[in-house]
Chain A
Amino acid sequence: MKKTVIAALVFANCMATAEPVKNVYFGDTHLHSSYSFDAFLNNNHSADPDTAYRWAKGQPVIHPYNRTRVQINTPLDFLVVSDHAEMLGVMRAVRNDKFEGEDLGWWGSLNRWYAFRLMNQAIDDDTGLQFFGQFLPKNPSNNGHGDPVKDPSNNISDLSIFGDTTKTSTIAWHDIIDAAERHNDPGTFTSLLGWEWSSIPLGANLHRIVISPDGADKGKQFLPYGSDKSQYPEDLWQWLDETQERTGTRFLAIPHNSNISKGYMFDDTTLRGQPIDADYARRRIKWEPIVEMTQIKGDSETRSEFSPNDEFADFENYDHYIQQGQTGYSPSEADFIRPALKKGLSIGQKVGVNPYKFGLIGSTDAHSGLSSSEEGNFWGKMAKDSTPETKERWGISPISSNGWNMSASGVAAVWATENTREGIYAAFKRKEVYATSGPRLRVQMFAGWDFPKNAVMSEDFSNIGNQYGVPMGGDLIATDADSKAPSFLIRAVKDPVDANLDRVQVVKGWIDSSGQKQEKVYNVAWSDGRKLDADGQLPEVGNTVDLSSGRYTNTIGQSELAVLWVDPDFNPEHSAFYYTRVLQIPTPRNGLLDSLALELDEPPRGPKTIQERAYTSPIWYQSQ
């Protein structure tokens, strides 16, 4: 009898292994090196792509500003060095007397020489940030909501003073590709080619990271497409389309920092103000299957203005546009991702295609060459805000934020069959990815109609999840005439070297029968045997952070939370999405550690503690 049981189990095991085993890999798709013009102007003169890879792989490196030896605590599995396409490598080349430009005639050359001199002088004077400010929109008006590109005050940066920088940028791009090829180690560490398209009309951040799983042979057939070519995302997609056609290179684009997009990133219309039609929606979701939920410059999930019943909204709000002057920050629904996911359902009902049906990742956007997402080991957004004494003033700044407005954030987690370019790219495409604000939380979510009862504690969690349901990023297909509610198989495990878990929540958004957008946050699993009240609210987990030492203990919370949850409010007529949010117990924020080191009473800006978190890509349910 015992033999039969074992045989049956072995058989089940064999069956299950038909589906390749997926592992979770952690990385950063958004990192700038000294080849980005703004990184260079802000004191990153030395952390090049090579430094970036050495840091990511866990080696000690020299910090580009404070020159100390720094090292990541837990190495990354993959990295994209994604420098700004605009002026790629130019500042660095000018500084090192390696600029190669076109002949501009005597007057043009004189102008260029003068611009170089000013730039060098700004670097010598340590006023690089101020010089950089010249290239930012100046007190742009934010009235009305027309096409920001065509607005007469959209007078960004006259970069033409540098003439044609193609030669210099080509050298830089090839350096970046060569570094990626040197460091790519299939199975162990993956480097992907990428860059940033930095469109910012009227100070509205529309930036996209573009990444490709292809190598040098393809990468050297084109130059990164920048916003100096066009500020419209449609033109970027057009270029991706043509370049893919011409060279066979595969791409995808990742919007980020929608929180500072002035209501343009996830708008009801295209940037030109035209209604979104099926063609636009199809092109958008083809090229942009994932977005960045969280990074050093703030979190873009949602705010209390748009999610008043979510007690954990307003996480790491960042209220500073990328522009000169102090135009007041005014959040819009079109800036945030939860509202965008709802809007996507609504547009999808109208035009037949959901343009905002994207998966979620985190990344850093660090400009220091160091992918720095460990809060206690945070080495700055720019190179200069890496020490407590330089966080307040990066220089004479035209920008209203400082280092304490930010926290170490952003990891992209992918469930892939192998740690290779192909494996990671495939995971991005099928959205089997999730975001964390830094810690390496391991999160799985599957949705299905009928999971086995013991699935939650099963060793075979992934296989059961895949066999009876769909993973994060997938679509839950209604079975005919069966109006049974869907269930969700969710498991979250703490970062082995970080804090315990507070709770697991499911965030649901849907369109009700009258066409209204709705949302609800459910507490579905939690630590320490707490009890839900009648409204489904859960008492706080507590806080072990000692404000006088900046230390915490794992005496509260749990190392693992798992649940099989059934949607209690399911209505088969309502199209919906579901994503999982996992919260850690509170831990010290970098500002608290700085204030203790500086012997200040309070962190100058920002909260003392932070509840780090993870967000899975949604699973969508489409009503019939």
Chain B
Amino acid sequence: MNFFSRQIFKEPLFQFLIIGLVLLGGERLINSEDYGEEQYSIFIDNQILAQFMQRQAKSFKPEDALKTIQGLTYSERQRLIESYVQGEVLYREALALNLERDDQIIRRRLIQKMDYLAQGFYDEKPPLTEADLRAYYDSSREDYKRVATATFTHVFVGSGKDISWEQGKIRALKLLKDLNVDQVPFENSGLYGERFLYNRNYVNRDDDEIASHFGPDFRQEIFAFSPSSPPDPLRWQGPLRSNYGWHLVLMTKKTPMYVPEFQDVSSVVLADVQRQQQREIKRLAIDNLISKYKIIDKAEPK
């Protein structure tokens, strides 16, 4: 609440309002008999007319508007007053008849305004500690997981176009034997097979990208392989089938999906906790308001 009262005291209009009320009160003490019909008086000044005119014109330049108002002829001014008065009277009478109740548009507008007000309470949030962040991280580890990646090179045998899939597979199997017998290293992969339209080598590439280049079946199969790298014997594996042909694969590294340590993602966690805190403060503010009310369900069986 502090925040709003502080803000409102800074508002010049609020200051005027206070001064005005004091003056008005004093004046009323002196001229009290003139005010019996107060609720049926409509006060008009240039400021009010200027605001009214701008809203009608959907053109918002207060200084120009005030100048225009000051320059109006008597009859122009009267016409403007008439149309303002008509709206004002209808508005007041509608309120007197309680027409704003059960009006869905008005209801929605007011709810929206309260909703925005509730967001403002975030300014009074308690400071976050590292323990808060760690607790959040522990409870939402899944959100921080890193996708699976693989490092591999492949030797490609195009199939299905110039040669059949069966011929391609036979050729690939023969090549596979050579690659393993000769212990062909990663960097010499380019000396074998054909050019593939995407990459020859894939270094720490994630599983989605691998799937997009080779197809979902390929992804599943390659992540079932185990890596091999020097000084261990190199293990060329396959052939695996993509939309374009057969692939012989030398995988040197595979990182399954994992959740990074807290310190590696702490800045992301902080942002997430702040967002969550903001939502939570807003929810509490609204719950707090709700708690003032007793909810009686008349239809509920006793």
Binding site for B on A (CB under 8 A): 6, 9-10, 13, 50, 74, 95-97, 106, 109-111, 113-115, 118, 124, 130-131, 134, 158, 161, 182, 442, 457-460, 493, 496-497, 559-560
Contact = CB atoms under 8 A, between A and B. Distances in A.
Contacts of A113: 11-13
A497 B271 CA distance: 32
B113 interface: yes
B271 A493 contact: no
Interface string B38-79: 000000000000010000001111110000000000000000
Contacts of B244: 559
Q: Which 4 A-B pairs have the closest CB atoms?
A: A496-B212, A560-B197, A459-B195, A109-B12
Contact of A134 (B13, B60, B120): B60
B119 A96 contact: yes
B198 interface: yes
17 contacts: A10-B188, A50-B271, A95-B116, A97-B7, A110-B13, A114-B62, A115-B62, A118-B60, A130-B58, A158-B61, A182-B267, A182-B271, A442-B198, A459-B200, A496-B212, A496-B213, A559-B197
Interface in B180-210: 187-188, 190-191, 195, 197-198, 200, 209
A13 B190 contact: yes
Contacts of B60: 115, 118, 131, 134
B7 A134 contact: no
B112 interface: yes
Interface in B66-119: 109, 112-113, 116, 119
Contacts of B7: 97
Contact of A6 (B13, B61, B191): B191
Interface of B: 7, 11-13, 51, 58-63, 109, 112-113, 116, 119-120, 187-188, 190-191, 195, 197-198, 200, 209, 212-213, 244, 267-268, 271
Contact of B198 (A95, A106, A111, A496): A496
Nearest to A107: B12
A50 B268 CA distance: 10
A124 B13 contact: no
B112 A96 contact: no
A457 B209 CA distance: 24
A142 to B, nearest CB: 22
Given A114-B62, A496-B209, 10 more contacts: A10-B188, A50-B271, A96-B120, A113-B13, A130-B58, A457-B195, A459-B195, A459-B200, A460-B190, A497-B212
A71 B120 CA distance: 29
A565 B51 CA distance: 69
Nearest to A158: B61
Contacts of B12: 106, 109-110, 113
A114 B58 CA distance: 14
A497 B244 CA distance: 14
A96 B118 CA distance: 10
Contacts of A74: 212
Nearest to B54: A118
Given A74-B212, A182-B271, A496-B212, A10 B197 contact: no
Contacts of B59: 134
Contacts of B267: 182
Contacts of A442: 198
Contacts of A110: 12-13
Interface of B is mostly: helix
B214 to A, nearest CB: 9
A497 B190 CA distance: 25
B12 to A, nearest CB: 5
A301 to B, nearest CB: 26
B62 A111 contact: yes
A97 B11 CA distance: 12
Nearest to A109: B12
From A10, A111, A114, A115, name the one whose CB has the most chain B CB atoms within 10 angstroms.
A114
Contacts of B212: 74, 496-497
A130 B58 CA distance: 8
A317 B135 CA distance: 53
Contacts of A182: 267-268, 271
A270 B12 CA distance: 47
Contacts of A457: 195
A523 to B, nearest CB: 21
Given A109-B12, A124-B113, A97 B120 contact: yes
Contacts of A497: 212
A182 B187 CA distance: 35
A398 to B, nearest CB: 9
A132 to B, nearest CB: 12
Contact of A124 (B112, B191, B197): B112
A124 B116 CA distance: 10
Contacts of B58: 130
A497 B208 CA distance: 11
Contacts of A106: 12
Contact of B63 (A95, A111, A496): A111
A74 B208 CA distance: 9
Contacts of A96: 119-120
Contacts of B191: 6, 9-10
B239 to A, nearest CB: 19
A402 B244 CA distance: 42
Contacts of A109: 12
A115 B59 CA distance: 11
A168 to B, nearest CB: 15
B109 A124 contact: yes
A389 B221 CA distance: 44
Nearest to A59: B143
A380 B109 CA distance: 25
B198 A493 contact: yes
Contacts of B112: 124
A53 to B, nearest CB: 10
A13 B186 CA distance: 13
Contacts of A124: 109, 112-113
Contacts of B113: 124
Nearest to B270: A182
A6 B120 CA distance: 71
A239 B80 CA distance: 49
A376 to B, nearest CB: 15
Contacts of A9: 191
